[in-house]
């Protein structure tokens, strides 16, 4: 939590410093134009990449596969779009990294490998595999006294 608070305070200060430095080098109007240009390019890229990602999600769902990678890419697209609308060059660089297909797919693969999202990305993961089988459901709904194969009985004592 402290890390995010530190980022929330530090990033705007660094952004202002970079904007002032760039403005002193190329001029204030050129800097403002550059900020608007990156926002416009970012919105166009966001629209195009968002449609492509949505089409891939629909395609994977029609095949009965879990679109975990595509959903994570959608989240990254939303974050990237928000960062590109935020004035500043550092947030624009991070936003473009989230929007460009090669860097976004690299980041998604890294996040999935690190276990940030638990799913099988790029494999044939059917929706049924993520749910319990009907036998396991029946066993968990067994009445007391009934025998079920996957229930382990025990006692516990809570110590406060």
Q: Note the pLDDT tens digit of each residue in 24-78.
A: 999 999 999 999 999 899 899 999 988 988 898 889 888 888 887 888 888 889 9
In the predicted model, is pLDDT for residue 121 greater than 50? no
Q: Helix, strand, or coil here: 57?
A: helix
Sign of CA pseudo-dihedral 67, 72, 73, 74: positive
Q: Within 10 A of 135 (CB to CB), how many other CB atoms are there?
A: 11
- pLDDT bin (cut points 50, 70, 90) of residue 120 is very low
Mean pLDDT of the chain: 79
- Is the overall model pTM greater than 0.85, yes or no? no
In this predicted structure, what is the pLDDT of residue 135? 43
Q: Within 10 A of 113 (CB to CB), how many other CB atoms are there?
A: 10
Helices (H), the chain: 2-26, 28-62, 68-85, 89-99, 101-114, 134-140
């Amino acid at each position: 939590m402290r890390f995010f608070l530190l980022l929330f305070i530090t990033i705007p200060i660094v952004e202002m410093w970079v904007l002032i430095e760039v403005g002193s080098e190329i001029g204030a109007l050129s800097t403002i134009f550059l900020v608007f240009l990156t926002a416009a390019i970012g919105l166009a890229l966001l629209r195009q990449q968002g449609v492509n990602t949505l089409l891939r999600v629909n395609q994977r769902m029609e095949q009965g596969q879990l679109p975990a990678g595509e959903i994570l890419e959608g989240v990254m697209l939303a974050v990237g779009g928000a960062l590109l609308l935020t004035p500043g060059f550092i947030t624009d660089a991070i936003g473009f990294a989230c929007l460009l297909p090669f860097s976004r797919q690299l980041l998604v693969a890294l996040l999935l490998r690190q276990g940030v999202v638990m799913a099988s990305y790029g494999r044939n993961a059917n929706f049924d595999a993520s749910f319990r089988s009907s036998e396991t459901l029946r066993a968990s709904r067994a009445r007391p006294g009934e025998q079920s194969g996957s229930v382990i009985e025990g006692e516990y004592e809570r110590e406060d």
